Amino acid sequence: MGPKRIFNFNAGPAALPQTVLEEIQREFLDFKGSGMSITEVSHRSKWFDDVINDAVARTKRLLNLDDRYQVLFLQGGASMQFCMIPMNFLAEGRTADYVNTGTWATKAIKEAKILGKKIQVVASSEDRNFAYIPKDIAFTPDATYVHLTSNNTIKGTQWAQFPDTGNVPLIADMSSDIFSRPFDAGRFGLFYAGAQKNMGPAGVCLVVVRDDLLALTPDNIPTMLKYTTHSEKNSMFNTPPCFAIYTAQLVLKWLEETVGGLDKMAQLNRQKADLLYNHIDGSGFYRGTADKDSRSLMNVTFRLPDEALEKKFVAEASAAELGGLKGHRSVGGCRASIYNPTPLRAVEALVDFMKTFESRNG
């Protein structure tokens, strides 16, 4: 009998593919015949070189990146990128556009303002508690970049299509939907993702940056906060988070070799989301919180008739080995995060539980 495993709907740190966890377990004490754990090998060794180079190569293949893009694995999480982006790219007299679709976009805007950078919030969905993705946005033609958050974990919204920004590079926080679907990376000057939601454990942030933006990096900012510091040293200017990068590399391998790429992953994610949203819409007991055309395929947010029932729902779900269904503390309600590693059978089990709970409490 194997170890107990629940269906994990946590928003981050979140579920990892079980086969990846088993592979880590198998080679944890002796990595590739080294006689050492991956947590013990030198980041200057061939063993770790192979790991990070394979992670970079798989990222480029999965996202169809051309030679203009550098793939970096940095520390500080996506939150560090909120200040690094304006520090590196927004020179005196230049401006950037930001779209505010919720908590993490709001934090990115705040960090740019702390630095005294000139930015414009060109669109926001705050007027309806961030329940939708803004449309028909008038972007600034000479902006240095446009920043947006591709998927909003707390509010349960997601950009179904990215906006046309003309010649202005897009920059996106893709922490919670990276590798969940194909997209045209060529429209982006930079995108970034904290690993702990859809591609690995906490401790590393993937940054993909284009050479024309790298060229804007000034000399007069701290060394560790310059993208060129990391691009010139293959993300190993200092000791990187080796275990987190190694796990991300195994998740990327799983995406390529087991799932079969991002088209296949997107089909699976759509199937999971449709199953859950269709039940919510048809029940009359559960209520989705995001506008239908803005719904996230990664974070399904919903409410029950009252808060007491929501508390009971989360407790009984947990007892039924369905974990992590409590909504973010800032909004309440319930949330099922159904990232790439969450299998279809987990969503089927959740829908079955929702039916039973409604029959007893509706």
DSSP strand pairing (170-173 vs 146-149)? parallel
Tell me the CA distances in angstroms from 118 to 121, 123, 146, 230, 355, one per residue in order. 10, 16, 13, 26, 51
Q: Is 104 annotated as catalytic?
A: yes
What backbone torsions phi and psi does residue 118 show, to the nearest 5 degrees? -90, 110
DSSP states along 117-148: -EEEEEEE-GGGTT-S---S----TT-S-EEE
Tokens (6 digits) for 260:
């079969």
Alpha-carbon span 53 to 24, nearest angstrom:
18
DSSP assignment string, 237-301: SS---HHHHHHHHHHHHIIIIII-SHHHHHHHHHHHHHHHHHHHHHHSS-EE-S-GGGB-SSEEE
Nearest alpha carbon to residue 298 among 265, 333, 336:
336
* Six token digits for residue 326: 């409590």
d(CA 145, CA 324): 36
> In sequence order, what DSSP letters do the residues of 70-118 get, joined into one string?
EEEEESSHHHHHHHHHHHHH--TT-EEEEEE-SHHHHHHHHHHHHTT-E
* Residue in 116, 114, 133 with CA at minimum distance from that of residue 125: 133
Q: What is the DSSP letter of 204?
A: -
Selected catalytic residue, list 117, 159, 177, 197: 197
Does the annotation mark 197 as catalytic?
yes
65, 207, 255, 302, 312 from 58: Cα distances, Å: 10, 14, 9, 35, 43
Catalytic residue, candidates 173, 177, 254, 326:
173
Catalytic residue among 47, 104, 159, 254: 104
- Is 177 a catalytic site residue? no
Angstrom distances, CA of residue 119 to CA of 23, 113, 143, 147, 149: 45, 8, 9, 10, 16
Residues catalogued as catalytic: 104, 173, 197
